[in-house]
Amino acid sequence: MDDPVRRMAFSRRALLLGAGMAGTGALLAGRMAWLAVFEGETYQLRAQANRIQDRLIPPRRGWIVDRQGKPIAMNRPDYRLELRPAEVEDLDTTLVAIRAVLDIDLAEDARIRDDVRTQPSFMPVVVRQNLSWREFSACNVRLATLPGVTPVQSFSRFYPEADHFAHLVGYVGAPTPEQYREQKNPLLIYPGFRIGKDGIERFADKQLRGLAGSSRVEMTARGELVRELGTNADTPGDTLRLTIDRDLQDYAARRLGDNSASVIVMDCITGDVLCMVSMPAYDPNIFSRRVPARLWNALQKDDHTPLLNKSAMGLYPPGSTFKMVTTLAALEAGVDPGDTVGCSGAYRLGNNTWHCHARRGHGGVNMHRALPLSCDTYFYVMGRKVGIDAIATMARRLGLGQEYPLPLPGQAKGIVPDKAWKQRRYGKDWREGETLNGAIGQGYIVTNPLQLAVMTARLASGREVMPRLIAPDDANAPAPQFPSLGIPDAHLALVRQGMVDVVNAGYGTARAARSPIGDVLFAGKTGTAQVRRISAAERKRGVIRNEALPWKQRDHALFVAFAPADAPRYACSVIIEHGIAGGRYAAPIARDVLSFLFEPERALAVLPPIEAEAARLRALRQQNEAAASIASETRAMMPSWLKLDIKPPLFEIADADAPQPPREPE
Amino acid sequence: MDLLNGPWRRELARLPWGMVLIICAIAGFGLVVLYSAAGGSLNPWALKQGVRFAILLMGALALALVPPERWLGWAWPIYITLLVALVGVELAGAVRGGSQRWLDIGIMQFQPSEMMKLAIVLVLARYYQYVPKGYESRPDVLIPALALIAMPVGLVMLQPDLGTALSILFGGVVVLFLAGVRLWLFGTAAAAVAAMLPVAWSMLHDYQRKRVLIFLDPESDPRGAGYHITQSKIAIGSGGLSGKGFLNGTQSHLDYLPELHTDFAFATMAEEWGLMGGMFVIILYGLVLAWGIRTAVSARSQFQRLLSLGLTATLFFYLAINMMMVMGLAPVVGIPLPLISWGGSAMMTVMILLGVVMGIARANKRGS
């Protein structure tokens, strides 16, 4: 039944099929040989690229220390859990898995989802920071294979003195998404990596950052670590030594109590800034983690402006602390110090009357008595005599109206007005009344506390002292030699003696600032700067006492000082916003801060009642108390890369030539 | 039954024991690969697969004792039963929603499309057994034959299971080819298929289209669907001439290679055993295929010839598509490598296939 013809036909077809199979087999063998032998090296490299990863080791940030090496900003180990939205497969299941290990409440859950939704997906989102070692180990064991979830052991910045250094040192935060997009540096999105956001942290970021290291590790496709193949250690950032004296800064911050104020202490010879406090401030430890939105709002609304570095960015009329400038300008113009001006308490110009703070007048006042008495009338006369341009020139020589090369963002330049300036700014001619106001530090003129400290240091040393915040690398380096101001010693001596009398003469305005230390005399000058316009109607009724006014309308209290009076070493400026009167309120603070430099124990003894009172006042100002409770909140958070970016406030000048109203005595 | 009364010793001796040895060698190597794929452990795959192979080998030897002419009588009942089962799968799927490929018949899951790969060869061999020489290409003969192919292929496409449908189609067409259908008809059909490609493209599911596109350019989606092919090529290529050594594969052990124990078992093997391991598998299978062709050529009836070579070609289709896929020459279609990949139903199909072919070899052994 088997047909041989059919059999033959089948065999032919079978042969064809067999040939096809053999051909395919040859093709497969050839292809495999091509992959494995000819391209084998390429694929070996790719297999290696698959399994071997270079992992970044973020550098440890350099410390910031004070002039004696005491830490101001340091690093603390921080265990945290982060997730990278770009790598997470399903957020819901991921969060469920995390919840099995960490106790995440609803608010935290909402915050995480919020972050995932609002942040660019390459930015890591913190699930929880400050994990205990137990929690961290649990995360490592049970969550390490979850895609996109990384337990991170990093260092977080720690500021042992918290808010006392906030404005000076700043804080650190996550880099912004824009920074990463521009630089494409993988370090910038490394979980837990922080860069300087404000103050010195921001200015010296390059120096503090260091160099990242790397480690080669073998990884599975799911990101599990198999083993480490070798490491290339990181280079930690440099330690940055400041000229600041940590103890002094601390003391000044505590001494300020609840005031909205700034204290600066400088070394008159080297220019070292020993203390630069602006209070109240924020806690940079919170800012370096994550700022709860409610705390942020509270800080922004606070009328004591805790976000503003008043020392460098605050602008205030210098008031009577400016009178040294007018004195020196008058001396340079050839005024005889013995010339007497009669002060009746009022000075007439045209139809208007400028008042002296002494309502009944000082009688006959010469230059020697003018500063201790702070007689406005004397300076009205001198101002008119030398003119505003001479005063402005002297002010600039003493360092006002300029920015210093300091690592501080947003220094305010202030205004030192003269005729050309007014023409430029307003297109108007200078008016005589404006000169009267300018001569006593009111009107257009505004300065920041740092400039006042530099001015005082220059008066005290006679040299063009420049402030510095970063200590030289070599601790024994010779002090910088500043050129002379070019002001005759006799002129400076007269001004310095005037300032000594302000504090030490029986008729001085700052007897409260008298040195408690036996052999050291302090010298200084008070200032009380008006912040509100006093209407004609008010003037008629008689001026309301400053204490009776709402806080915002009270005068600023200023005091500049140097010590010791006979061989000036330290210069100091104190400004208390709405502090009522320089002599009564600012001067004692300067006294205590300066005496701390000579006898710390004695200065510390005055603190307890001040701190008790400050605590009471703070409690009264509900906002701060609320701030403390919301600092630990986890609900709504500001982005981790939050930057302050506060601009110096615009200063609004009321009537620069308005006559000086009668005032309370200084 | 004559099987029970038959001369046992003689029939057993006539079994192609050399081929059984080669099959055991392939399967044994497969177990070694699965052992390594599990990270150097018998569990979860190697041990179970070994037991399964042992049982199925017994089954295949038992099948080999069935006289080939028995299959002639069972061809139609088997084919029709499977066709009905395929419709049943469709209906069950329609009721439950979603695609369904197997029927739950109580003790085990039964996948009719898998068996259909063999049944299509069986029924066409039966069909052409009684077609006289010269009539193979006549429309009244060819059209019923094409219908026999089209029905299961259509049903399986509906599931949708492109890989199995192509496999059934291939088995059917090979039998037509071997039966002597004129060559120009195949040429015309190929041209027609080429012309129909755009239509077929529009009928494909999105994920199937994506697979084809990614096959054409795997690097276009290295993290997504192209990942399989890319990683598989890396595994094979990085193995080099002699491989990274047993248990030393990085692509497989560090999970870069997906489906390392099923569809991509060849890549897992090639990474550790290199080109030599690959050649070992290809040559052993070449021997099996050559034996299948020889069995067919020396068989005594057209039915046996068509059945044995059709089944051999089906086995070849499995091998070729799987290896082409892992080497980046074919799209990812989800066809396992016979006897090496982990999986019960695929192994059962292959062992039945080998059992039937061995039966034909036994029946035609010379010198009987």
A41-63 as b/e: b if 16+ CB within 10 A: eebbebbeebbebeebbbbbbbb
The beta-carbon neighbor of A14 closest among B233, B296, B329 is: B296
Q: Minimal CA–CA distance to A441: which of A536, A530, A561?
A: A530
Which residues of chain B have a CB within 8 Å of the CB of A2? 300-302
Average pLDDT over residues B60-66: 93
Scan residues 296-355 of A and list those with Cβ closer than 8 Å to B: none
The reply to whether B238 touches chain A by the CB within 8 Å rule is yes
Q: Would you tell me which residues 113-132 of chain A have a C-beta closer than 8 angstroms to some C-beta of chain B?
A: none
**Phi, psi for residue A182 in degrees, rounded to 5:** -75, -45
- DSSP-based three-state secondary structure for A575: strand
The number of C-alpha atoms within 13 Å of B87 and in the hemisphere containing its C-beta is: 6
Let me know how many helices (H) and strands (E) chain B has, helices first: 15, 2
Chain A positions in Cβ-Cβ contact with residue B256 (cut-off 8 Å) = 47, 50-51, 220-221
Rounded distance between C-alpha atoms, residue B221 and residue B217, angstroms: 8
Q: Is A213 helix (H, G, I), strand (E, B) or coil?
A: strand
Contact A36 B237 (CB under 8 A): yes
User: Hey, is the C-beta of B277 within 8 angstroms of any chain A C-beta?
Assistant: no
- Tell me which chain A residue has its CA closest to the CA of residue B301: A2
**Which pLDDT score is estimated for B223?**
59
CA–CA dist A498, A503 (Å, integer): 9
Does A425 contact B at CB distance below 8 Å? no
> What's chain B's length in residues?
368
CB of A21 less than 8 A from some CB of B: yes
Nearest C-alpha of chain B: how many angstroms from A104?
A: 31
DSSP letter at A281 equals -
Of B133, B282, B302, the CB nearest to A29: B282
Task: For CA atoms A458, A459, A460, A462, give the dihedral sign.
Answer: positive
Q: Does B134 touch chain A (CB under 8 A)?
A: no
How is B283-332 classified by DSSP, letter by letter?
HHHHHHHHHHHHHHHT-SSHHHHHHHHHHHHHHHHHHHHHHHHHTTSS--
What would the two tokens of residue A483 be?
């050129």
Q: Do A10 and B239 touch (CB under 8 A)?
A: no
Q: Please tell me the distance from the alpha carbon of residue B346 to that of residue B331, in angstroms, as a whole number.
A: 19
Token pair listed for A536: 């004609």
CA A103 to chain centre: 36
Which stretches of chain A score pLDDT less than 70? Answer: 1, 223, 532-544, 621-635, 645-658, 662-666
Among B279, B296, B329, whose Cβ lies nearest the Cβ of A31? B329
Q: What is the 3-state secondary structure of A440-480? A: CCCCCCEECHHHHHHHHHHHHHCECCCCECECCCCCCCCCC
Q: Which residue in B121, B129, B175, B234 has the most chain A C-beta atoms within 10 A of its own C-beta, making it the best mutation to test that interface?
A: B234
Distance CA(A623)–CA(A304), nearest Å, equals: 11
Distance, in Å, from the CA atom of A138 to the CA atom of A131, rounded to the nearest integer, reads 10
Find residues 36-65 of chain A whose CB sits inside 8 Å of chain B. 36-37, 39-40, 42-44, 46-47, 50-51
Q: How far apart are the first and last CA of chain A?
A: 136
A5 touches chain B (CB under 8 A): yes
- Give Cα A144 distance to the centre of its chain: 39
- Residue B171: which pLDDT band, with cuts at 50, 70 and 90? very high
Angle of CA points A278, A282, A284, to nearest 5°: 110
- 3-class SS letters over A635-653: CCECCCCCCCCCCCCCCCC
Q: Does A100 touch chain B (CB under 8 A)?
A: no
Does the CB of A145 have a partner CB in chain B at under 8 Å? Answer: no
Beta strands in A58-174 (DSSP E): 64-65, 71-83, 125-128, 149-158, 172-173
User: Do the Cβ atoms of B268 and B261 come closer than 8 Å?
Assistant: yes
Q: Give the integer Cα–Cα distance in Å for B357 and B23.
A: 13
Both tokens of A196, joined, read 């300087």
**Cα-based distances in Å from A73 to A156, A187, A262:** 10, 21, 21
Best CA proximity match to A198, nearest among A163, A172, A165, A162: A172
- What's the pLDDT band for B368 if we cut at 50, 70, 90? very low
- Specify the domain boundaries for CATH 3.90.1310.10 within chain A: 53-241
CB contact under 8 A, B275 and A51: no
Closest CA to A571 of A427, A450, A487: A450
Selected residue of A8, A10, A225, A226 to mutate for chain B interface (largest B Cβ count, 10 A): A10
Closest CA in chain A for residue B319: A25
Instruction: Give rounded-to-5 percent helix, strand, coil for chain B.
Output: 70, 0, 25
CB contact under 8 A, B238 and A3: no
Domain range list for chain B: 1-65+204-368, 71-201
Burial class (CB in 10 A: 0-12, 13-18, 19+), A404: middle
Q: Is some CB atom of chain A closer than 8 A to the CB atom of B55?
A: no
Determine whether the interchain pair B327/A28 forms a contact, defined as Cβ–Cβ distance below 8 Å.
yes
Residues of B in contact with A29 (CB under 8 A): 278-279, 282
Nearest-angstrom CA–CA distance, A107 and A90: 20
Q: Does A652 touch chain B (CB under 8 A)?
A: no
What amino acid is encoded at A523 in this protein? A
Q: Can you tell me the distance from the alpha carbon of A187 to that of A183, in angstroms, rounded to the nearest whole number?
A: 10
pLDDT classification of B225: cutoffs 50, 70, 90 = low
A138, with CB counted inside 10 A (0-12, 13-18, 19+), is middle
Output the six-digit token pair for A90.
């399903």
Residue A29: closest C-alpha in chain B: B279
The confidence band for B115, taking pLDDT boundaries of 50, 70 and 90, is very high
Q: Quick one: how many helices (H) and strands (E) in chain A?
A: 26, 19
A46 contact residues in B (CB cutoff 8 A): 234, 237-238
Q: Which residues of B touch A47 (CB under 8 A)?
A: 234-235, 237-238, 250-251, 256
Residue B255 has its nearest CB partner, among A6, A25, A222, at A222
Query: Chain B contact for A221, CB < 8 A?
Result: yes
Contacts of A37 in chain B (CB under 8 A): 240-241, 275
Measure the CA–CA gap between A524 and A516, rounded to whole angstroms: 15
CATH-assigned architecture of domain A246-466+489-630? 3-Layer(aba) Sandwich (3.40)
Most confident range, picked from A369-383, B245-259, B318-332, B350-364: B350-364
Beta carbons of A266 and A454 less than 8 angstroms apart:
yes
Q: Which of B236, B246, B216 is nearest to A43 (CA)?
A: B236
CA distance B121 to chain A (A): 15
Q: Is the peptide bond between B160 and the residue preceding it cis, with omega within 30 degrees of 0?
A: yes
Cα dihedral A461, A465, A470, A471, rounded to 10, equals: -40
Residue with tokens 């295929």: B289
Contacts of B254 in chain A (CB under 8 A): 50-51, 218-221, 226
Closest partner CB to A35 (pick from B282, B293, B327) = B327
How far from B67 is each of A229, A350, B21, B212, B296, CA to CA, in Å?
Answer: 63, 136, 22, 43, 15
Please report, as a single letter, which amino acid is at residue B279: M
Closest partner residue to B239 (CB to CB) among A11, A22, A36 is A36
Q: With the CA atoms of B64, B66, B69 and B71 taken in that order, what torsion angle do they form, in degrees rounded to the nearest 10? A: -80
The Cβ-side half-sphere exposure at A72, using a 13 Å CA radius, reads 31
ipTM over 0.90: yes
Omega prior to A564 cis, within 30 of 0:
yes
- Going by the DSSP 8-state scheme, the letter that residue B177 receives in this structure is H
Looking at the complex, report in whole angstroms how far the Cα of residue A37 sits from the nearest Cα belonging to chain B. Answer: 5
Amino acid at B107: I
Q: Is B174 on the interface with A (CB under 8 A)?
A: yes
Whether the CB of A26 is below 8 Å from some CB of chain B: the reply is no
Average pLDDT over every residue of B169-175: 95
CA A173 to chain centre: 14
Q: Do A37 and B133 touch (CB under 8 A)?
A: no
Give the distance from CA A86 to its chain's centroid. 34
The B residues from 177 to 196 touching A (CB cutoff 8 Å) are: 177-180
Cα separation, A57 vs A154, in Å, equals 10
Cα dist. A655→A240, A356, A375, A376, B12 in Å? Answer: 46, 18, 22, 18, 121
CA angle A643, A649, A655 (to 5 degrees): 175
Question: CATH class for domain A53-241?
Answer: alpha beta
